[in-house]
Amino acid sequence: MYAQMVKSEAADDSPEAISFQARIDAGEKIEPKDWMPAGYRKTLIRQIGQHAHSEIVGQLPEGNWITRAPTLERKAILLAKVQDEAGHGLYLYCAAETLGVSRDDLTEMLLDGRMKYSSIFNYPTLTWADMGAVGWLVDGAAIMNQVPLQRTSYGPYSRAMIRVCKEESFHQRKGFDIMRKMSNGTPAQKRMAQDALNRFWEPSLMMFGPSDKDSVHSAQSMAWKIKMNTNDELRQKFVDQTVPQADYLGLTVPDETLKWNDEKGGYDFAEPDWAEFYEVLKGNGPCNRERLAARNKAWDDGAWVRDGLSAYGQKRAARKVAAQ
Ligand code: 3HC
């Protein structure tokens, strides 16, 4: 279905494509029923679909700590956050459905590896401090990337982002509060917080995608305002915002080259290990197999619910026809 729907992406200089680009350049929102180039539709399905998958798979590393939270309050906050992520996934699957691709299509492509989810979720969450680092760094990076997407050209996607961003800032503050508590706690707690920062720093930088020179989609996605900033621009903003927060916590960013550059008005910092990044994308990260196995199991275990709902839907439809 998905493959048939999107025709080849041959360069399109038809009158429709020219007026479409003029609408984008004028900052107009494109809505589901508007004409759009096949490539625009395909890029949106890819990005929104993978964004949705990231929200759903992203629940797994944090879900691991719901039963282990140190207090009832921390458990309740973490539970609320993980539930929020499920909602973000649903908003995004709904936005993708407006492009003609079903949630089942997208889920099938996640489960068989044809579609990705964010590399960050292939790293393990080993201690409670990781719940702080994930909220502070991962949600912090997600906010950095998602706030500009509130202005993206595709209406349903930009509107989904407005709601997501409101909840994401709660997530980031939740994580920072855990890191603050632990950095000001016992020496063992501070060591745990530092260890979490050490393990999550580089994978968080990778969330913004490869460097601009290696980005496959950025140029076209920026021209269509599917992407509002380049990968490196957002990564730089994230570093400039996060380093002072680490200083405030009394933690050390694990990058010896990190140095404020007055001329640039930002930090110079070491590029992440791109070889590791591409290995994780190839499925060779620490938790790739575990994450996909969990999602495949959830899909299989939920088959009876889907079957029951579709049987009920068919029965209701048949009753409607019989009543006419
Ligand atoms: N993890 C997995 N794949 C990644 C990646 C990452 N961190 N960064 C890039 N890639 C993939 C791209 O998907 C693309 O592969 P594809 O052609 O198979 O899709 C390839 O690497 C080349 O990268 P590009 O820079 O050319 O790709 P994009 O232009 O799509 O940029 C992106 C990548 C910046 C992630 C962009 O897709 C984007 O902004 N997506 C929307 C936001 C999003 O998905 N964020 C993920 C995290 S959501 C989250 O963390 C939820 C929070 O609540 C915890």
pLDDT over 60 (residue 80): yes
Statement: residue 82 has pLDDT above 50: yes
Q: Is 273 left (phi over 0), alpha (psi -120 to 50) or beta?
A: beta
| Percent of the chain clearing pLDDT 70 (strictly above) | 97
Q: Whose CA is nearest to atom 41 of ligand 1?
A: 51
Confidence at residue 13, expressed as pLDDT on a 0 to 100 scale: 82
Mean pLDDT of 200-221: 97
Give the pLDDT mean for 246-252: 98
The pLDDT of residue 21 is above 60: yes
Q: Is 212 in the pocket of ligand 1 (CB under 6 A)?
A: no
Looking at every residue in the chain, the average pLDDT score rounds to 95
Q: How far is the CA of 189 from the centre of ligand 1 (A)?
A: 33
What is the distance in A from the centroid of ligand 1 to the CA of 209? Answer: 6
* CB-side neighbour CA atoms (13 Å) of 49: 26
- Asked if the model's pLDDT at residue 302 lies above 80, the reply is yes
Residue 47: the pLDDT is 98
11, pLDDT greater than 80:
no
User: Mean of the pLDDT values across residues 163-175?
Assistant: 92
Residue 324's pLDDT band (boundaries 50, 70, 90)?
confident
